[in-house]
Amino acid sequence: MRKLLLAGSVLALFAAAPALAADLPAQAIPAKAPVYIPPPIYNWNGFYVGGHVGGGWSSQQATELAPGVAAFPTGTVFNKNNMSGFFGGVQGGFNWQVSNVVFGIEGEYSWADVNGSVTTVSPVFGGFSSNVTAKDKDYALATGRIGYAADNWLFFAKGGGAWGQTSSTGTGLLANGTVFETNTANSNRSGWVVGAGVEWGFAPNWSAKVEYNHIDFGSSNVTVLGTVTGASSISVSNTVEVVKGGVNYRFNWGSPVVAKY
| Separation of alpha carbons 134 and 82, rounded Å | 10
Q: For the CA atoms of 221, 223, 224, 228, what is the dihedral angle to 10 degrees?
A: 130
User: Is residue 38, in this structure, part of any structural domain at all?
Assistant: no
**Gap between the terminal Cα atoms of the chain:** 78
Residue 241 belongs to a domain: yes
* pLDDT recorded at residue 261: 37
Residue 47's pLDDT is what?
96
d(CA 1, CA 7): 10
Q: Which pLDDT score, from 0 to 100, does residue 25 have?
A: 54
Say if 166 falls within a structural domain.
no
What total number of domains does the chain contain? 1
Range of the domain at 248: 45-104+199-218+236-252
Please check whether residue 168 is in contact with residue 131, taking contact to mean a CB–CB distance below 8 angstroms. Answer: no
Side-chain-side CA neighbours of 128 within 13 Å: the count stands at 12
Residue 3 main-chain phi, psi, to 5 deg: -65, -40
What stretches in the chain show pLDDT beneath 50?
1-17, 19-22, 24, 255, 258-261
pLDDT confidence of residue 31 = 60
- Predicted confidence at residue 8, as pLDDT, reads 47
Q: Is 159 exposed, middle or buried (0-12, 13-18, 19+ CB in 10 A)?
A: middle
57 lies in some domain: yes
pLDDT of residue 126: 86
